[in-house]
């Protein structure tokens, strides 16, 4: 139940930011303070915010921790990130237009 509510709230937050803030910002209808002005800019700022270097730095710090603490830290981090990323994955999967149409939706002549 709570996972479903968490998913629904996350989906609502993401869609709200995209539709009510990013799209109007890109159309220059309103300025929401984003650092980008166009689609090339949003791609550039997305590239700058790549999470992989952060994960690499965390792993370097984990390597310096006492072994048992580092393993436990990594486990907790991966568990939390995994749950959050799975919600993003589900939202992304459910936001894709279907490439096929269900046969029951196709009009036929009789």
What is the DSSP-derived secondary structure letter of residue 34? -
pLDDT digits (tens, 9 = 90+) for 46-75: 999 999 999 999 999 999 999 999 999 999
CB 74 within 8 A of CB 63: no
Query: What's residue 106's pLDDT?
Result: 62
Q: If you average pLDDT over every residue of the chain, what do you get?
A: 90
Q: Which two tokens stand for residue 109?
A: 């002549």
Which distant-in-sequence residues (6+ apart) come within 8 Å of 11 by Cβ?
91, 94
Where are the chain's structural domains?
1-48, 50-92
Query: What's residue 2's pLDDT?
Result: 82
Query: What's residue 109's pLDDT?
Result: 60
Query: What's residue 4's pLDDT?
Result: 86
What distances in angstroms separate CA 104 from CA 17, 44, 100, one per listed residue? 35, 43, 12
């Amino acid at each position: 139940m709570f996972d479903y509510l968490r998913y629904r709230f996350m989906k609502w937050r993401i869609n709200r930011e995209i539709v009510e803030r990013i799209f109007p910002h890109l159309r220059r209808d309103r300025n929401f303070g984003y650092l980008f002005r166009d689609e090339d800019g949003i791609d550039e700022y997305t590239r700058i915010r790549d999470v992989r270097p952060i994960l690499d730095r965390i792993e370097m710090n984990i390597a310096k921790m006492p072994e048992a603490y580092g393993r436990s830290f990594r486990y907790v981090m991966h568990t939390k990130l995994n749950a959050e990323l799975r919600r993003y994955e589900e939202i992304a999967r459910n936001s894709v237009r279907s490439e096929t149409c269900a046969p029951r939706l196709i009009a036929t002549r009789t």
